[in-house]
Amino acid sequence: MLNICIVAGARPNFIKVAPLVRIIIKAKAEGRAVDYHLVYTGAENDPTLESSLFEDLGIPHPDVFLGVDCVNLNELTGRVMSEFEKYLDANRTDVVIVVDDLASTMAVAIVAKKHGLTLAHLVAGTRSFDINMPKEINRLVIDGLSDLLFTAGIGSTSTATREGAELANVYMVGNILMDTLRFNRSRLVRPSLFDTLQLKEHDYIVFTLNRKALLADRDNLGRMLTSLCRAAGDVKIIAPLRNGAEEVVLPLVKDFDNFIIVKPLSYLEFGYLTANAKGIVTDSGNVAEEATFNGVPCITLNSYTEHIETVKCGSNVLVGEDAGKLADAVSDMVMGRWKQCSLPDRWDGRTAERILQILFNIK
């Protein structure tokens, strides 16, 4: 029996591991000798995990909640290490799969290796090449400890091998987010706000914002939002913002009728909103990847992206934190002047299938 522990440290992680959970459940039902636990490092009452999330993703709720909830990253790392060690002591585990680059992800990786378990990193080889970013340190540590590095593309594979990972341990399995998007393509839900706001498909811009550095510089954020609203003209800007971001953004857009802040949507509703937009302005790498999959023009409020394929062949452009560049890009978006884009290699929806087969082969 292959016992797999899949660990999620935040809401976006569930979106990426959902295909793995589904394919393991399917394999088990077909008589394969495999089982899993889905572990969440946070609390069961985490407000970011809306009640519909797991139903939307087509997976059961987590089997275990470690219950760690704190702001200080060093404290969080220590507490996750302690709680995950208790989990491993009580549950037979052969493979631990971690995803992305959170402090909790790094904590789990350290404990798994101290227990002598096979550690697999999903979305390995991702780099910003800015060592001042806490997440960059997490990535280096997790990749350095991992026995199996599952990368999304050629660039990530090159990074992992260049930094010393053995080529035999690096697998370009593809972008697992595409498994989720393909699974949900026919399940998306049209939000009621289309009726209340009289929205029409492909005639609005979606705006998302979460990055702390952007929110902290309110003067520059104000300039960027002013540029965005003016360049959009009569096109409505729909902004599903969580409380912290809403508090910062609201006073900066009070003079613009075309900027509309709405409450966060369910996963399937947000998927419909972005898939049918005229364009997207975001600071999220995942949202930019989804935009490329859907062929929707996307502007990322950053000077770099860990998902460079969304720029090289996808629908994404980078404007940094420059209000002038943002205005020019939004004008192009509104006028329909956008680059041709295509899907990167192995965005085929079979990533989870490849990963499970690799795990069977090595065990």
Hey, is 65 helix, strand or coil?
strand
Tokens found for residue 205: 């811009």
pLDDT, residue 332, reads 98
The string of DSSP codes covering 281-317 is EES-HHHHHHHHHHT--EEESSS--S-THHHHTSSEE
216-230, 267-281, 296-310: the lowest-pLDDT one: 296-310
3-state secondary structure of 122: strand
CB 238 within 8 A of CB 273: yes
What is the amino acid identity at position 297?
P
CATH number belonging to domain 193-335: 3.40.50.2000
Q: What pLDDT is stored for residue 134 in this prediction?
A: 85
Taking 90 as the threshold, does the pLDDT of residue 82 lie above it?
A: yes
What confidence score (pLDDT) does residue 130 get?
A: 84
What is the side-by-side order of every strand in the sheet holding 148-151?
A: 64-65, 34-40, 2-8, 95-99, 118-124, 148-151, 170-172
Residue extents of the structural domains in the chain: 2-174+347-362, 193-335
Q: Of all helices (H) and strands (E), which one includes residue 357?
A: helix 351-362
Same fold, 2-174+347-362 and 193-335: yes
Cβ 160 vs Cβ 124: under 8 Å: yes
Domain 2-174+347-362 has CATH 3.20.20.80: no
Q: What pLDDT, in 10s, does the model give residues 309-353?
A: 999 999 999 999 999 999 999 999 999 999 999 999 899 999 999
| Least confident range of 126-130, 223-227, 280-284, 321-325 | 126-130
- Determine the average pLDDT of the residues in 183-204: 97
Over residues 217-243, mean pLDDT: 96
176: pLDDT confidence band, cut at 50, 70 and 90?
A: very high
pLDDT on residue 133: 84
Q: What is the pLDDT of residue 132?
A: 82
**Measured distance CA(359)–CA(347) in Å, rounded:** 20
**296, 326 contact by CB (below 8 A):** no
Cβ distance 304 to 322 under 8 Å? Answer: no
Note the pLDDT tens digit of each residue in 239-273: 999 878 999 999 999 999 999 999 999 999 999 99
Q: What is the model's pLDDT at position 263?
A: 94
Task: Kindly report whether the global pTM for this prediction surpasses the value 0.85.
Answer: yes
